[in-house]
């Protein structure tokens, strides 16, 4: 907020200062990468509105400048991600879609007029990624086809940009982001050939992030990107379950947890860092619970306990956040599965708690993504006949 206010003061002095506008674009881009959990949902939304207000003022003064219009696209993407993360009611989902669609339309228009410039091409590709990611997580007619086409288009653009600048770390990172999100979509869609393509994308993303981390080991962004790549590949292998997959998945998840814990030591108040640790803990808990070798039960329980503690704290600090609520429901559901699988603990109680959280979100008109809708119905089936419906 302070940085945005400082730029606003500079632009009041000279609203056509190219260096200031370029630097403002870089700031917007940094904020867009984070996209959520910078503070409370209210603070994040205020920041998104502030970004869009500044972008509109700059564009009004420089209506023909592609960099000025790029600020609009970037601010709208950030706003869309904040709406999507907040998920307080169905209007947030609609507003997220509208913001992300507007971002895509603006960036497409700028690219059409400046197709040979790298920045408009990158802005279009980023808009495509986040619109595709949003559509792919919502089970609506034609969403899957649109998401797949948007991901394909984005990846084509980004790979061309990287091919033209093979040593550009940002270009490489952009390809990594697209590969991971495209892989996630394919895993969720689960059509013939999707698993093979997703695995290829995850493996390619890991190669990119390992290379970026090796070049800049002190970069927090490079460290987290490597963590995400490890988590995605580990989760894919754990789910596939072919001979040797479990052992490889366990290695990836353990490495991911080590990295996530390291990040958290430097960002103890970061909600994003806390959520990353929860994901790592939950993945290891599920994997060990399913393997069920000697000592696995106690380790899995420890992982679930710590993940539960963190998610409860996150929801307490962000009581209106749909993301925090769904995170808690997810770990409660997995804790119930762990109890059922091992015959230790009250599985029904955990499932009931998860069901009540998700059903409560639905009753409050808080949007549920496809995976949460599926969990709700799965839990409903498990609790059938117990009086919880």
DSSP states along 134-158: HHHTS--TTHHHHHHHHHHHHHHHH
Is the model's pLDDT at 369 over the cut of 90?
no
Whole-angstrom distance, CA of residue 130 vs CA of residue 96: 10
Whether 297 and 342 map to the same domain: the answer is no
Arithmetic mean of pLDDT, 367-381 = 87
pLDDT of 315 above 80: yes
Count the alpha carbons within 13 Å of 62 in the hemisphere toward its beta carbon.
Answer: 18
What is the tens place of the pLDDT at every residue in 127-137? 999 999 999 98
Residue 240 lies in a domain: yes
Please name the residues in contact with 371: beta carbons below 8 A apart, sequence gap of 6 or more. 137, 188
Would residue 267 count as lying in a domain? Answer: yes
Residue 374 domain boundaries: 318-389
For residues 267-274, average pLDDT: 86
Q: What is the DSSP string of 330-342?
A: HHHHHHHHHHHHH
> Is 221 in the same domain as 302?
yes
User: Based on the domain organization, do 332 and 302 belong to the same domain?
Assistant: no
pLDDT band at 271 (very low <50, low <70, confident <90, very high): confident
The mean per-residue pLDDT over the stretch 91-115 comes to: 94
Query: Residue 32 has what pLDDT?
Result: 58
Q: Is 60 exceeded by the pLDDT of residue 17?
A: no
Same-domain check for residues 333 and 358: yes
292 and 349 in one domain?
A: no
CA angle at residue 17 from 15 to 23, to 5 degrees?
A: 105
Neighbours of 159 (CB within 10 A): 16
Most confident residue range from 79-93, 121-135, 355-369: 121-135
Residue 299 and residue 228 in one domain: yes
- Rounded to an integer, the average pLDDT of 82-97 is 82
Burial class (CB in 10 A: 0-12, 13-18, 19+), 174: buried
Burial class (CB in 10 A: 0-12, 13-18, 19+), 137: middle
Q: Which of 257, 276, 306 marks a domain boundary?
A: 306
The pair of three-digit structure tokens given for residue 161, joined into one six-digit string: 């940009």
Determine the average pLDDT of the residues in 76-84. 88
Q: Are 299 and 288 spatial neighbours (Cβ–Cβ below 8 Å)?
A: yes
User: Is residue 11 domain-resident?
Assistant: no
Across 280-299, average pLDDT: 94
Of residues 92 and 186, more confidently modeled: 186
Residues 277 and 343 in one domain: no
* 107-116 pLDDT, tens digit each: 999 999 999 9
Say yes or no: 260 and 296 in one domain. yes
Q: pTM, whole model, 2 decimals?
A: 0.83
- C-alpha count within 13 angstroms, C-beta hemisphere, residue 212: 27
- pLDDT surpassing 80 at residue 367: no
In this structure, are 272 and 340 located in the same domain? no
In a domain, 246, yes or no: yes
Give pLDDT, residue 331.
96
Confidence class for position 10, pLDDT limits 50, 70, 90: very low
Residues 302 and 322 in one domain: no
pLDDT band at 37 (very low <50, low <70, confident <90, very high): very low
CA distance 187 to 257: 22
Answer yes or no: is pLDDT of 219 > 70. Answer: yes
Q: Is the pLDDT of residue 7 over 60?
A: no
pLDDT given at position 241: 85
- The pLDDT assigned to 23 comes to 66
Give the DSSP letter of residue 81.
H
Give the number of domains in the chain. 2
pLDDT for position 103: 96
| Residue 61, both tokens | 């003064």
CA distance linking residue 280 with residue 260, whole number of Å: 7
Round to whole Å and give the CA distance between 291 and 260. Answer: 23
Q: What is the Cα–Cα distance from 65 to 71, expressed in whole angstroms?
A: 10
- At residue 2 the predicted structure's pLDDT band, cuts being 50, 70 and 90, is very low
Domain boundary among 249, 277, 306: 306
Residue whose pair of structure tokens reads 């008109």 in the numeric block: 365
Is residue 192 situated within a structural domain? no
Report if residue 202 sits inside a domain.
no
pLDDT, greater one: 389 or 224: 224
Task: Tell whether 290 and 366 lie within a shared domain.
Answer: no
- Dihedral sign for Cα 196, 197, 200, 201, please: negative
- 215 vs 327: CA distance, rounded Å: 33
Query: Which of 275, 283, 292, 293 has its CA nearest to residue 255?
Result: 283
Q: Given a cut of 90, is residue 12 above it in pLDDT?
A: no
Decide if pLDDT at 233 tops 80.
yes
Burial class (CB in 10 A: 0-12, 13-18, 19+), 245: middle
pLDDT at residue number 106: 95
* Predicted local confidence at residue 272, as pLDDT: 86
Task: Using alpha carbons only, give the angle 223, 224, 229 rounded to the nearest 5 degrees.
Answer: 100
Mean per-residue pLDDT, 65-89: 82
Domain boundary among 306, 333, 359: 306
Domain assignment present for 277 = yes
Mean pLDDT of all residues in 374-383: 93
On the question of pLDDT at 4 being above 60, the answer is: no
Q: What is the pLDDT of residue 13?
A: 43
- In the chain, the largest separation of any two C-alpha atoms, in whole Å, equals 69
Tell whether 351 is covered by a domain: yes
Mean pLDDT over each residue of the chain, to the nearest integer:
88
Looking at the fold, whether 297 and 232 belong to one and the same domain comes out as yes
């Amino acid at each position: 907020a302070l940085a945005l206010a400082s730029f606003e003061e500079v632009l009041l002095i000279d609203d056509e200062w190219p260096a200031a506008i370029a630097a403002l674009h870089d700031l917007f881009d940094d904020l867009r990468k984070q996209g959520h959990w910078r503070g409370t949902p209210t603070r994040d939304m205020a920041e998104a509105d502030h970004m869009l207000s500044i972008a509109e003022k700059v564009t009004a003064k420089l209506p023909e400048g592609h960099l000025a219009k790029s600020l609009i696209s970037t601010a709208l993407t950030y706003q869309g991600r904040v709406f999507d993360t907040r998920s307080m009611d169905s209007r947030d989902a609609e507003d997220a879609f509208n913001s992300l669609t507007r971002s895509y339309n603006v960036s497409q228009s700028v690219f059409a007029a400046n197709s040979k410039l790298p920045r408009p091409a990158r802005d279009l590709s980023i808009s495509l990624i986040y619109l595709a990611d949003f559509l792919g997580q919502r089970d609506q007619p034609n969403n899957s086809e649109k998401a797949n086409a948007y991901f394909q288009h984005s990846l084509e653009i980004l790979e061309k940009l990287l091919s033209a600048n093979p040593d550009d770390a940002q270009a490489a990172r952009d390809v990594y982001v697209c590969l991971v999100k495209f892989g996630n979509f394919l895993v969720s869609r689960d059509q013939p050939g999707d698993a093979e393509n997703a695995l290829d994308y995850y493996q390619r993303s890991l190669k990119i992030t390992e290379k970026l981390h090796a070049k800049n080991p002190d970069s927090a962004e490079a460290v987290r990107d490597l963590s995400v790549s490890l988590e995605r590949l580990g989760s894919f292998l754990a789910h596939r379950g072919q001979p040797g997959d479990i052992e490889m998945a366990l290695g990836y998840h353990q490495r991911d947890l080590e990295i996530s814990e390291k990040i958290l030591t430097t960002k103890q108040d970061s909600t994003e860092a806390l959520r990353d640790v929860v994901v790592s803990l939950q993945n290891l808990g599920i994997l060990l619970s399913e393997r069920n070798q000697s000592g696995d039960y106690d380790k899995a329980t420890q992982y679930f306990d710590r993940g539960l503690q963190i998610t409860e704290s996150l929801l307490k600090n962000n009581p209106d956040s749909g993301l925090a609520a769904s995170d808690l429901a997810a770990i409660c559901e997995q804790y119930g599965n762990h109890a059922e699988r091992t015959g230790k603990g009250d599985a029904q109680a955990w499932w009931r708690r998860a069901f009540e959280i998700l059903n409560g979100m639905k009753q409050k008109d808080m949007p549920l993504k496809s995976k949460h809708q599926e969990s709700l119905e799965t839990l409903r089936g498990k609790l059938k006949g117990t009086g919880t419906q």
